[in-house]
Amino acid sequence: MNAPPIDPERLDALAATWTVLSRLLLSPPDEDTLTRFRDPEMLASWPFAGHDEDTDAGLALIAGSGEDAEAIRADHAALFTGPDTLRAPPYESVHRSRDHLLFEEETIQVRQWYARHHLAAPRLGREPDDHIGLELDFLATLVLRALQALDAGHADDARRLLADHDEFVTTHLLEWAPGLMDLVRARAGTDFYRGVGALGSGALRAPQALLS
């Protein structure tokens, strides 16, 4: 029996979702990025707008957020980078390892996943590979490579890449990222990052919804 066709538009939406969330979780937006992201047309184009409760809540929070870039930058630091105790530690090993430390077994597993696809964290060995933003960027890369394979007429290669994407989501992302998004929503000091957390909650249901 032939495998069902892959919908490039759904893949494109998934790649965009992972990419935007990755960037917002790795670093806060500057003023120009913030203005573009709050644009009503951009928000209306977000995947699942009007079809997912968490997504709609997140979009409403971001649309109504009045904080400037400096306040959002400070909130990002309080949540994810410090120097004080992090309100929402963005590293998989902190959430999943027995001692809740950095550079534990989960970090090495994620590094091996990257290496399987000839990728590596940008500050390998100095910063943990399992930052939520890096994991989402990895997923976006797999989806974009699947799209490239489809464009080249290599549907089997695309399916292999998507199978790895789905396995990584199941064995890593879904094991800890929903809890992280709950922390972001509960502990953020700005409506902007409360909205990002809600978008993240909705996006974690994205792979099955977009690929099925």
Beta bridge partners of 131: 91
CA-based angle 136:145:196, to the nearest 5?
25
**What's the chain's average pLDDT?**
92
- Per residue in 119-153, pLDDT (tens digit) is 999 887 678 999 999 999 999 999 999 999 999 99
Residue 99 falls inside a structural domain: yes
Distance (Å, whole) CA 180 – CA 203: 13
Residue 154: which CATH number?
A: 1.10.3480.10
Q: Is residue 2 part of a domain?
A: no
In which band, very low, low, confident or very high, does the pLDDT at 5 lie, cut at 50, 70 and 90? confident
pLDDT reported for residue 1: 46
Q: What is the pLDDT of residues 29-81, one digit of tens each?
A: 999 999 999 999 999 999 888 888 999 999 999 999 999 999 999 999 999 99
CB contact set of 150 (below 8 Å; sequence gap of 6+): 6, 8, 11, 158
Domain annotation covers residue 64:
yes
Q: pLDDT at position 209, please?
A: 47
Domain limits for position 88: 8-211
Give mean pLDDT, residues 4-10. Answer: 83
Number of other CB atoms surrounding residue 69 within 10 Å? 16
The verdict on residue 171 lying in a domain is yes
Q: Which of 42, 82, 89, 90 is nearest to 62 (CA)?
A: 42
Residue with tokens 């997923």: 139
Say how many domains are in the chain. Answer: 1
CB 154 within 8 A of CB 184: no
Domain assignment of residue 1, yes or no: no
21 CB-contact burial (10 Å; exposed 0-12 / middle 13-18 / buried 19+): buried
Please name the residue that has the structure tokens 């696809």: 117
Cα torsion 176, 182, 188, 191: sign: positive
Structure confidence at residue 125 (pLDDT): 63
**pTM of the model as a whole:** 0.93
Answer yes or no: is 200 within a domain. yes
- Nearest Cα residue to 43 out of 33, 25, 56: 56
pLDDT at residue 183, rounded to an integer:
98
Q: What is the pLDDT of residues 167-202, one digit of tens each?
A: 999 999 999 999 999 999 999 999 999 999 999 999
- How far is it, in rounded angstroms, from Cα 94 to Cα 131? 10
| 3 in any annotated domain | no
141 assigned to some structural domain: yes
Question: Is 212 a residue whose pLDDT tops 60?
Answer: no
- Between 208 and 72, name the one with better pLDDT: 72
